[in-house]
Structure 1
Amino acid sequence: MRIATSLAVVICAMIMAAQPLPAQRGPANVDVAKIVEREVASGQTFVGTVMPIKRSVIGSAVGGRVAEFPVNEGDFVRARQPLAQLLTNTINLELDSEKATLDLRKEELNELVNGTRPDEIKRAKALMMAAKADSEYQQKRLKRLESLYARKAVNDDDIQAVVSESIRAEEMFSEAEAAYKLAVEGPRKEQIAQAKARVAVQQALVDKLESQVVKHTIISPFDGYVVAEHTEVGQWVNSGELVAEVIALDHVDVSVQVLENHVPHVQLKSEVRVEIPAIPNQVFTGEVVMIVPQADIRARTFPVKVRLKNEIRKDGPLLKSGMLARAVLPTGPRLKALMVSKDALVLGGPTPMIYVVEPGKKNSKLGKARAVPVQVGVADGRLIQVKGDLESGGYVVIRGNERLHPGQDVMISNVLEPDALPTAKAINTDG
C-alpha cells in the first residue's frame, strides 16, 4: 500500500511538471502606470496597537435578576439592541394599575373641560321654571288668604301655613335658578386646574414606572461587538454592576508612542502607512487624528493615534482590537523619493515587490515583467514611496500583477495615471 501511494505521488508530480507554465500561454494583459519622483517627508516606523475608536463597559442602572441574556462574546450588536433583560413582573403590574388611574383622571378632566351637557342645561331650566311657577302660585294664594284673614275668614294657623309655603316655594325657585346659571356657566376654572394637576401627578407616576422598566433593559449604546460578558441568566445584579462590554470596530485607531524629538514633525490629518504583521498581504493607509500633548514622563513619548477604516467581512472585522501594528510617520526632513501606486505592490512574500514592464524593441505594448523587491516608505494619497532597482518614468503593473510571475510576457492594455483609482480610465500617451 505504501509503495502504491508513493508511486501515485511521483506520477502526479511528473504530470504537473509536464504541464506548460503560464508564461507559455501568451502575454498577459496588464494596466500600467509611471513611476514618479516627488518630494516627501522621510518616515520613521513606530510600533503600536490596534484599538477600537469606542469602548463601553455597560452596567445596570437598577438592581434585579437577569431574565434574559441573548448575546455572547464576539456577537455583533446594533445600537439600542438589548444586551440583558431584568425581571419586571412586579413593576409591570404597578404600571398597569397606575395607567388605569391615569385614564380615570384624564376622563375626569375631559368631563370638566367639555362643560355641562345640553340636556342637563335643559333639565335645570325646566326645574327652574317649575319652581318659579310654584313660587308664583304660592304668592297669589298668600294674597287671597291675606284678604280673607283681614275679614276674619281664616285663623292664624292657616295664614301662617300659607306664608311658610310661600317662603319655601320662593327659596326653591332661587335654588333652581342658581342651579340653572351654574349649568350654563359650566365648571369653574379652579376645578379644571385641579383636574389638570391630578392628571399631571398621575402621568409622572406612570413615567417613573416606565423609566424603571426601561432601566431593566440593558442596551448597547452603539453598533459594535460584544467582547466581554459579566453576568448570566438567573444572576442577581446590583445597581452599577457590570453586564457586558462593547467595542466599535467600523474604524480603528492605531495607538503609537512617538519620541519627543520626532513628535514636532507629526501633523494632524497627515496620511500614514500602517503595516499589520498578521495581515502581510495588505497595505493600510490612515490619518493622524490625535496627538496627545502629555508625554509619558519616564519614556518621554507622546501618544499619537492613527485612524483607519476597517473592513467588515462576513466572519467579522478584518482589523481586530489588540493587533500589533507598525505606523510609518513622516517625521524627518523632506527629500525626493520614487512613488508608485499602492496597487503596484505585491505582498504576501518575504518582501514586498513590484513588477516593472520592460517594453520590447519592436512593439512598445509588448514587454516582459521584471520583479523588483522594494522597501516601502511613507504614503502620499494613493501613492507610496518605494526603494529598489527603479528609475523615475518607468512603468509598473498596477492591474493584473497578482497573476504575474518574473519574466512573463505582458501586453500593456492601458496606461493609467500614477494615482489612478481602481475604476480609472486609460490616459492618452500618444501626445
Structure 2
Amino acid sequence: MRIATGLAATAAVLIFSSQTARAQRGPAAVSVAEIIQKEVASGQTFVGTVHPIKRSVIGSAVGGRVAEFPVNEGDYVKQDQPLAQLLTNTINLELTAEEAELDLRRYELNELKNGSRPDEIKRAKALMLAAKAESEYQTKRRKRLESLYARKAVNDDDIQQVVSESIRADEMYQEALAAYNLTVEGPRQEKIDQATARKDMQKALVDTLASKVVKHTIKSPFNGYVVAEHTEVGQWVNSGELVAEVIALDQVDVTVQVLENHIPHVRLDMEVRVEVPAIPDQVFTGKVALIVPQADVRARTFPVKVRIKNTITDDGPLLKSGMLARAVLPTGAKQSALLVSKDALVLGGPSPMIYVVDHGEGDQKQGKARAVPVRVGVSEGRLIQVMGDLEPGQQVVIRGNERLLPGQDVVVKEILPPDAEPQAKAINTNG
C-alpha cells in the first residue's frame, strides 16, 4: 500500500512539473505497441555481483630485471600486447652468434646437397684423361723395351726403370679415375646426413635461445583491462613471480546464490533481467550460462551465473567487475501478467515508468501521453513484466519516449508488435 501511494505521489509531481513545458511543445511523433497479458513464471530477485568472464594473474616464466613496464592499472590491452619487458642484451648477443653458426651449417649442407659443380667434373676428367694417356704411353714403352731386353739390346737397369715408370703411371691413372668417379657421384649420403644432423642441432640451440627471448616478454593472454600491477621498471622478478593481472569484460557474469527450493526452476539459457543500482537508467538482459551443482552446505544455496554482453565505450566498460547487481529469476509457478516491450521503460527517475497513450473518442492517431509508474518483473524475449495502473490492450510508447513529458500531445505514426526489435544504435566495441 505504501509503495502504491509513493508511486502515485511521484507521478503527480511529474505531471505538475511538466504542465508549463508541455504547453510550449507541439505534438510528438511516437511509435506505440499494445500491452499484452500472458502466463509467465513468477520471479524472485537475487542479489549478486558482476564478475569478468576471464581473469588472468600473469607471472614471469623466467627471472630477470624489468626494463620496460608500459601499462598502468585501468589500461585496455589487446591479446599478445606486451605487459612487461625483461632485459635480454646478453641473450640477444648469444642468439646472434648462434644464428650465424646456423647459417654456416646450412651453407655446408647445401654445398653437399648440390654436389660437384660442372667445372669440377671437367677438371677431374681432364686429370683422369691425362693420367690415362701417360699410362698408355708408359705401357707401350715398357713393351718395346721388354722386346729389346729379350734380344739383349738393353741392360737390366734400363728395363727395371721402364717397368717402374709404367706401374707408377698406371697407379696414377687409377687414382685419377677414382677421383673423377667420386666427383661425378658427389658426396656420400652419410656425409649429407651428418651435415643435416649438425644443422638440426644448431637450429635447436637457436630455438632455445629465441624461446628465452620470447619468455622475457610478458604478454596479455587476451583482450582486457589491467586491474593490478605487481612490478615496476628496474625491479628484479624471479621465475613464477607475478607481473600484472588482466580481466576480460566484453562479457560479464552476474553470480547470484539461489536457494535450493528455487534451483529446480532455473534452466540453462533461460533469459534473465538484471538491474545494476549504479546504472539506474538501464535494464540489462542476460542468459543463465552456468548452474554450479555444488551447494554451499551452510546456506543451502547454489551459485548461478548470468552472462551479459557488456557495452564498451571510449570511457571503458559500462559494467565493471565488482558492481552490485540484482537478477530476477523465474523461480515459481506460472501466473497471469502484463507484458510490454522493454523499449517502453523510461528509467533514471525515482522509479521506472511507461507512457500510456490516452486517445480521444474516435481518434486513434492522436492522444496524450500519460506517465504510469511501474514495477518490473521477469523478462521474456523482448518483453518484460510490468505491474501498475495498466490494462491489457492499452497502447504504450516504445519509440520517441525519451523526451516525452507527462500530458504531452502525441501523434501515433506507427503501431508496432509488442516484441519489435529496437532501432540500431552505434556502439563502440573496440575498447
TM-score by length of 2: 0.92
Task: Report if aligned partners of 1:379, 1:385 keep a CA contact under 8 Å in 2.
Answer: yes
The answer for the alignment partner of 1:146 in structure 2 is 146
SS at match of 2:205: helix
CA–CA distance in 2 between the matches of 1:139 and 1:373?
126
Give the aligned residue type for 2:348: G
Instruction: Indicate the SS of the match to 2:169.
Output: helix
Distance 1:399 1:113 in 2: 76
Aligned to 1:12: none
Q: How far apart are residue 267 of structure 1 and its match? A: 0.5
Gaps of 5+ in 1: 1-16, 425-431
User: SS in structure 2 opposite 1:25?
Assistant: coil
Distance 2:146 2:270 in 1: 115
Structure 1 SS opposite 2:279: coil
2:391 alignment partner in structure 1: 391
Residues of 2 paired with 1:200 and 1:377: CA distance? 68
> Which residue number in structure 1 is paired with residue 99 of structure 2?
99
Preserved CA contact (<8 Å) 1:23 1:409: no
| Larger mean Cα displacement after TM superposition, 170-179 or 354-363 | 354-363
* 1:292 aligns to 2:300 (yes or no): no
Kept after mapping to 1: 8 A contact 2:58/2:245: yes
2:22 and 2:407 in contact (8 A); partners too: no
TM-score normalised to the size of structure 1? 0.92
Deviations 1:46-73, CA, capped at 9 Å, x for gaps: 0000000000111111111111111111
Q: Shift of the alpha carbon at 1:108?
A: 0.9
1:254 aligned onto 2:254: yes
**Amino acid aligned to 1:240:** G
Q: Distance in 2 between matches of 1:101 and 1:208?
A: 14
Measure how far apart 1:145 and its partner are. Answer: 2.4
Q: CA deviation at 1:23?
A: 3.2
**Map 1:217-366 → 2, pairs under 5 A:** 217-366=217-366
CA distance in 1 between counterparts of 2:133 and 2:368 reads 124
User: Which residue of 1 is the match for residue 409 of structure 2?
Assistant: 409
The worse-fitting range, judged by mean Cα deviation, of 279-288 and 352-361 is: 352-361
* Post-superposition offset of 1:28: 1.9
Deviations 1:302-328 (A, max 9, x none): 000000010111110000000000000
Which amino acid in structure 1 is aligned with residue 248 of structure 2?
A: A
Query: Taking every aligned residue pair, what percent have the same amino acid on both sides?
Result: 77
The Cα of 1:364 is off from its aligned counterpart by 2.2
Residue in 1 that maps onto 2:201: 201
Separation in 1, partners of 2:72, 2:62:
22
Amino acid at match of 1:412: V
How far the C-alpha of 1:421 sits from its partner, in A, is: 1.4
- How far did residue 144 of structure 1 move? 2.5
The one-letter code of the counterpart of 1:109 is L
Q: Distance in 1 between matches of 2:399 and 2:292?
A: 40
In 1, Cα distance between the equivalents of 2:423 and 2:79?
Answer: 34
Contact 1:31 1:397 in 2 (8 A): yes
Measure how far apart 1:163 and its partner are. 1.6
- Taking the aligned partners of 2:369 and 2:132, their CA distance within structure 1 comes to 119
Which position in structure 1 is the counterpart of 2:7? none
Q: Which amino acid aligns with 1:394?
A: Q
CA shift, 1:20, in A, is 5.2
The corresponding residue for 1:8 is none
> SS of the residue aligned with 2:296?
coil
User: What is the aligned-residue RMSD (CA, Å)?
Assistant: 1.5
Shift of 1:362: 4.7
Aligned 8 A contact 2:258 2:301 in 1: yes
The secondary structure found in structure 2 opposite 1:209 is helix
**What SS is found at the alignment partner of 1:304?**
strand
- In the alignment, does 2:363 pair up with 1:368? no
Correspondence 1:65 to 2:65: yes
Tell me how far apart the structure 2 counterparts of residues 187 and 238 of structure 1 sit (CA, whole Å).
Answer: 50
Whether the aligned pair in 2 keeps the contact of 1:50 and 1:253 (CA below 8 Å) is: yes
> Following the alignment from structure 2 to structure 1, what is the Cα–Cα distance between the partners of residues 274 and 89?
53
Q: Give the Cα separation in 1 of the matches to 2:66 and 2:23.
A: 65
- 2:323 and 2:314 mapped to 1: Cα distance? 19
Q: Offset of 1:206 from its aligned partner?
A: 1.1
| Partner secondary structure for residue 401 of structure 1 | coil
Residue identity opposite 1:241 in structure 2: E
Kept after mapping to 2: 8 A contact 1:353/1:372? yes
Q: 3-state DSSP class of the match of 2:73?
A: coil
Letter in 1 for 2:128: M
